[in-house]
Amino acid sequence: MHIPDGYLGPQTYLPAWGVMAPLWSWASARLKRTLSVRRLPMMALAAAFTFVVMMFNVPLPGGTSGHAVGSVLVAVLLGPWAAVVAVSLALAVQALLFGDGGITALGANCLTMAVVMPFAGWWTYRLLAGSSPAGSRRRWVAAAAGGYVGVNAAALVTGVLLGIQPLIARDPSGRPLYCPFGLGVAVPAMAVSHLLVIGFVEAAVTALALAYLARTEPGLALADQTAEGPSSRGLRRLGLSVAALALLSPLSLVLVARFGGGTAWGEWSAGELSRLTGYLPSGFQRLSSLWRAPLPDYGPPGAEGVSVVAQGVWYVVSAALGVAAIGAAVLVLRRLFTRKERDGHAA
Amino acid sequence: MATLPEWLRPGARPVSLLPQRATAHRLLRRTLGAMGRSISLLVREPDGPGVGALRTADPRAKLLAAVGLIVATTFLRGLLPLAACLALALALSAAAKVPGRRLLPVMIAVPLASTALLLPATLNIVSGGPPLLVLWRSAGGAFGPWRLPEVVAVTADGLLVAGRMVLRTTACAALALLLAATTRPQRLLGGLRSLGVPQAFVMVLAMAERYLAVLLRSAQELHLARLARSVAPIGVRREEAWAAAGVGAVFRRTRSLADAVTLAMVSRGFTGEVRLLRPACWRRTDWLLVAAAAAVAAGLLILDRRLA
Amino acid sequence: MSGSQGETVFAVEAVRFAYAGQPLCLDGVSFDVRRGERLALVGANGSGKSTLLHLLNGLFFPGEGRIAYLGSPLTEAVLDAAPFGPRFRQEVGFLFQNSDAQLFCPTVEDELAFGPLQMGWTQAEVFRRIEDTLALLEISRLRGRFPAGLSAGEKKRVALASLLVLAPSVLLLDEPTAGLDPRSQSLLLEILEALHTRGLTLVTATHDLTLLPHLADRVLVLSEEHRLVADGEPEPVLADTEMLLAVNLIHAHSHRHGRLVHTHPHQHVVAHEHVHGHHHEHEDQAEPKK
Ligand SMILES: Nc1ncnc2c1ncn2[C@@H]1O[C@H](COP(=O)(O)OP(=O)(O)OP(=O)(O)O)[C@@H](O)[C@H]1O
Ligand SMILES: [Mg+2]
Interval C229-254 mean pLDDT = 81
Task: Please indicate, yes or no, if residue A287 is contained in any of the structural domains.
Answer: no
Nearest to C39 by CA among C161, C205, C191: C205
pLDDT at B270 over 50: yes
Name the residue range of residue A100's domain.
Answer: 10-260+293-346
Substitution target from B186, B268, B273, B278 for chain C, most C beta carbons within 10 A: B268
pLDDT at A274 over 80: no
In chain B, % of residues over pLDDT 90: 18
Closest approach of chain A CAs to the CA of B288, in angstroms? 22
What is the per-residue pLDDT for C35?
93
Q: Count the domains in chain A.
A: 1
What is the per-residue pLDDT for C273?
40
Task: Please indicate, yes or no, if residue A285 is contained in any of the structural domains.
Answer: no
pLDDT at B244 over 80: yes
The continuous run of DSSP H or E covering C8 comes out as strand C8-18
| Chain A residues within 8 A of B257 when measuring between CB atoms | 41, 45
What is the per-residue pLDDT for A267?
34
Task: Please indicate, yes or no, if residue A288 is contained in any of the structural domains.
Answer: no
Task: Point out the least confidently predicted range of B4-18, B279-293, C65-79, C116-130.
Answer: B4-18
Which residue on chain A is closest to B101 by alpha carbon?
A345
**Ligand 1 near C48 CB (within 6 A):** yes
Neighbours of chain A (3+ CB pairs under 8 A): B
Distance C99 CA to ligand 2 centre (A): 12
What is the per-residue pLDDT for A276?
36
CATH topology of domain C8-262: Rossmann fold (3.40.50)
pLDDT at A309 over 50: no
- Given an 8 Å threshold on Cβ–Cβ distance, is A45 in contact with B117? no
Distance C44 CA to ligand 2 centre (A): 9
CB atoms within 10 A of CB C271: 7
Could you tell me the CATH number of the domain that includes residue A210? 1.10.1760.20
**CA distances (Å), origin A45, targets A83, A229, B176, C93:** 12, 19, 25, 24
Which residue on chain B is closest to A273 by alpha carbon?
B117
Interval B3-28 mean pLDDT = 65
Which residue lies with its CA nearest to atom 24 of ligand 1? C45
Task: Please tell me whether the interface predicted TM-score (ipTM) of this complex is above 0.90.
Answer: no
Give yes or no for a contact between B152 and B124, defined as CB atoms under 8 angstroms apart: yes
Which residue on chain B is closest to A330 by alpha carbon?
B116
Task: Please indicate, yes or no, if residue A129 is contained in any of the structural domains.
Answer: yes
pLDDT at C52 over 90: yes
Per-residue pLDDT tens digits for C137-165: 888 998 888 888 888 889 999 999 999 99
- Which of the listed residues C15, C16, C19 should we mutate to test ligand 1's pocket, taking the one with most ligand atoms within 8 A of CB? C19
Mind giving me the DSSP string for B262-306?
HHHHHHTT--S----PPPPPP-HHHHHHHHHHHHHHHHHHHHHHH
First to last CA, chain C: 35
Closest approach of chain B CAs to the CA of C185, in angstroms? 23
- Whether residue A5 lies within 8 A of chain B, CB to CB, comes out as yes
Task: Point out the least confidently predicted range of A215-219, B46-50, C181-185, C275-279.
Answer: C275-279
Interval C121-129 mean pLDDT = 91
The continuous run of DSSP H or E covering C123 comes out as helix C123-136
What is the per-residue pLDDT for A298?
33
| Chain B residues within 8 A of A333 when measuring between CB atoms | 112, 116
Task: Please indicate, yes or no, if residue A88 is contained in any of the structural domains.
Answer: yes
CA distance C158 to A174: 61
Distance C45 CA to ligand 2 centre (A): 7
- Given an 8 Å threshold on Cβ–Cβ distance, is C253 in contact with B1? yes
Task: Please indicate, yes or no, if residue A265 is contained in any of the structural domains.
Answer: no
pLDDT at A313 over 50: no
| Chain B residues within 8 A of A103 when measuring between CB atoms | 67, 70, 172, 176
Distance C51 CA to ligand 1 centre (A): 6
Buried/exposed C225-246: b ≥16 CB within 10 Å, e otherwise: ebbbbbeeebeebbebeebbee
Of A101, A272, A295, the CB nearest to B116: A272
**A·B CB contacts under 8 A:** 325
Which residues in chain A (104-143) have CB-CB distances under 8 A to chain B?
Answer: 104
Task: Please indicate, yes or no, if residue A49 is contained in any of the structural domains.
Answer: yes
What is the per-residue pLDDT for A150?
94
Per-residue pLDDT tens digits for B40-88: 877 766 554 445 667 777 888 888 899 999 999 999 988 999 999 999 9
pLDDT at B24 over 50: no
In chain B, % of residues over pLDDT 70: 84
Highest mean pLDDT among A72-81, A285-294, B230-239: A72-81
Interval B4-31 mean pLDDT = 66
Closest approach of chain A CAs to the CA of B76, in angstroms? 9
CA distance C211 to C204: 11
Interval C221-246 mean pLDDT = 87
| Chain B residues within 8 A of C123 when measuring between CB atoms | 277-278
Task: Please indicate, yes or no, if residue A269 is contained in any of the structural domains.
Answer: no
Question: Which band of pLDDT confidence, cut at 50, 70 and 90, is reported for residue A206?
Answer: very high
CA distance A186 to A156: 9
What is the per-residue pLDDT for A223?
75
Distance A38 CA to ligand 2 centre (A): 23
Nearest to A316 by CA among A148, A159, A153, A191: A191
Give yes or no for a contact between A299 and B147, defined as CB atoms under 8 angstroms apart: yes
